Amino acid sequence: MHNLEARRRRDFNQGMDALIDGASDDATLMREMLEQMRQGIVLYEHDASGEDVVRLFNAQAALVLELPPGFIRKGLRRRDLVNFCALRGDHPADFDPAAYFSVMRQKGEGELMMQSPSGRWVQVTWRRRAAAGGTLTLYTDVSEKVACERQLTETREEYRTLAEFAPTGIAKLDPAGRLVFANVAALDLLDRPMEEVDLAHQIEPNDDISFATHLARGGRFEADIRMPYLTRHVIVSVHTVGECGAKIISLADVTRLREARSQIEHMACHDSLTGLGNRRQFNLIWQKLAAEAAAGTATGMQHLIALDLDRFKRINDDHGHGVGDRLLQVAASRIRLAAGEGASSFRLGGDEFAVISSSASRRDAVATAEAIIGRLSEPFEIDGLTLAIGCSAGIATMLVDGSTAAEVQRAADVALYQVKRSGRGLVACFDPAQERHIDERQRLESDLALAIARNEFTLAYQPQIDLDTGRIVGIEALLRWHNPRLGCLVSPTDFVPLAEALGLIGLIDIWVMKTAIAQIRQFLDAGLEKPFISINMSPLTLKRPDIVDLLADALAQHRVDPGLVEIEITEGVAIADRQSVRQVLDRIRAGGMRVAIDDFGAGHSSLAYIQSLAVDRVKIDRSIIEGLGREDRTLAVVASIAALCRGLGLRLTAEGIETEAQWQTLRTLGAIDGQGFYLGVPDTAQALLARFGRDGFSGQLSPHVA
């Protein structure tokens, strides 16, 4: 390479020597100047035939054009140089040398691009000589410039493509505010062709600041793009480009995001099943109203109506959760309509609802509650079923029954609790005396928690009589609790639900079971024959996995035949948990014990439930027996139950026999056992033993002297 460059320089020097006669200082200076230039320089002059030939050139010309050594020389025709480069492929495929020279003759100056064999780009710039014929031509290596321009072009094209097809809307305004570019996403958002887009009128900022002001300020803001058929929500970003003042505007469509956020906020504050406000929204609204009431800015009185559906659990158990859910949906709609537009309705959980009502007096709140109860008392048609429920309501008023949201809520709950105790389907306003009753209930809960440890429970025993023969066929063990603080007995209907709520019923049932089985042993040791005892068991206790083992251990400990024990379960347990209960009952019966269904007929079940369960006895609820002797229909119902039980091989016991008329009527129906105050009151084991000694366990009993 070094030798090649040296030869080219020698050729150049020879050309210069031929051009300049003598070795003057000016010639030396010109040669140095030409050698220092980065461009290749060739001076062409006309020969005798008028063609351009080389008169003068520097060594850089041969280097830039990548010519063979000695190729460029004085007298070389320009046509030969151009043809050489064209044949070598330095020019484009459509390059025409004849046309090139024709243009050169017609124009005083011009340029073209060519590419040397090594791939480098050469810019050829020529200018016609003014003083004499020929041209001065520069050959400049512009490879780096071409590469940069090409890269810049590609980058611009990439950015334009990105902008054109970006999912975010992009638009450009010139300094005068005219739209000069809008990509596909922007035109889709604006729903206009580019020539019809008017950003100032189509984009409506959400902050009451004009679009023009936002455009001048720059930055980001939220806006709406309104159309006849929908509204799109966008985040607009404005950026100024350079010093000229052009604007780049981006439009991010957040319609779905805002809708999703709105839906999430709605779900967070509304019940998913009924669409009513949930407990969170209830608390937020009630706290806001409480603050307004405290500040004296509230309009009217604020009333809280606490609602609880009656008999819903029974329907849910009888017909399944699907029917129960649809009933709740219809009930919620009725509550909302009955409450009116000025009220807010909520589902707080399960079958618990609430209404916040604003009115001038409590009388209006009572009227609203009564309207709700009336609507909910109407029959429900659900999946072909006609269902009936009811509703109870408790009312409390802000600043009358409490000064805080929590106080008013408690007052409404207290009023509702009193309604449910005294009779469902009613409305009650809060009374401070009601709260005292609640406090007493809480004290009773505390007493109950200590009752087991203090051995405050006892058992009373009530005989069951064969009404046909008058023989005692069994004894029911009945739980009793004497509360030392109150100094009296507490009814099981009061403390058993409390025990279940407190989680104590399992311990109490196990105590009853062990005590009753131990008492059987005492009866046996006293000489009584086959004194089987019925033991009531809570549904929560039946769910204990070890309950059958505990029964077996107690029987073994006291050497009692399992056939002397009968476990009583309520009708509701048999219906609600039939599958799980059946498994427990099967294990109980497999252990030799018997099973009875208590309180049959108090609900809405049929004997079809009994047919599918492993039971030995059915006990008719006292609410049915009460009608005997007064209503012929009651006798028909009892007779039907007795006939079905005989057909299924089940013993039948009538509970709650209180009069001789009931006793005599039942005796006409055949083999039925009876239980009630007329036949024998619940008493202590010692009193029962004394009675057995008088009448004999196997002998007949005289009911009128029981």
DSSP string computed for 289-339? HHHHHHHT--SSEEEEEEEEEESHHHHHHHH-HHHHHHHHHHHHHHHHHHH
Mean pLDDT over each residue of the chain, to the nearest integer:
84
What value does the mean pLDDT take over residues 605-616? 68
What value does the mean pLDDT take over residues 121-130? 87
What value does the mean pLDDT take over residues 275-280? 91
Residues in CB range of 618: below 8 A, 6 or more apart: 596, 597, 600, 607, 610, 641, 645, 650, 651, 652, 653
Residues in CB range of 70: below 8 A, 6 or more apart: 7, 11
Confidence at residue 508, expressed as pLDDT on a 0 to 100 scale: 92
* Among 448, 473, 452, CA closest to 462: 473
What value does the mean pLDDT take over residues 660-683? 89
Least confident range of 132-141, 207-216, 477-486, 608-617 = 608-617
Three-state DSSP state, 663: helix
- The pLDDT-based confidence of 379 (bands split at 50, 70, 90) is very high
- Among 158-167, 228-237, 347-356, the range with the most confident prediction by mean pLDDT is 347-356
Confidence at residue 425, expressed as pLDDT on a 0 to 100 scale: 83
Q: How far is the C-alpha of 535 from the C-alpha of 539, rounded, in Å?
A: 13
DSSP state of 564: G
What value does the mean pLDDT take over residues 209-234? 87
pTM score > 0.95 for this model?
no
Beta bridge mates, 316: none
- The pLDDT-based confidence of 704 (bands split at 50, 70, 90) is very low
Question: What values do phi and psi take at 533, rounded to 5?
Answer: -120, 135
Dump pLDDT digits (tens) for 294-340.
787 777 788 999 999 988 888 888 888 899 999 999 999 999 999 98
Q: Would you say how long the chain is, in residues?
A: 706
- The pLDDT-based confidence of 23 (bands split at 50, 70, 90) is very low
Confidence at residue 577, expressed as pLDDT on a 0 to 100 scale: 58
Least confident range of 237-246, 472-481, 546-555 = 237-246
Q: Are 346 and 279 in contact (CB under 8 A)?
A: yes
Q: How far is the C-alpha of 532 from the C-alpha of 476, rounded, in Å?
A: 9
Three-state DSSP state, 272: coil
Confidence at residue 571, expressed as pLDDT on a 0 to 100 scale: 62
Least confident range of 164-168, 363-367, 369-373 = 164-168
Q: How far is the C-alpha of 58 from the C-alpha of 39, rounded, in Å?
A: 9
Residue 417 has pLDDT above 60, yes or no: yes
Least confident range of 30-39, 198-207, 612-621 = 30-39
Q: Are 343 and 357 in contact (CB under 8 A)?
A: yes
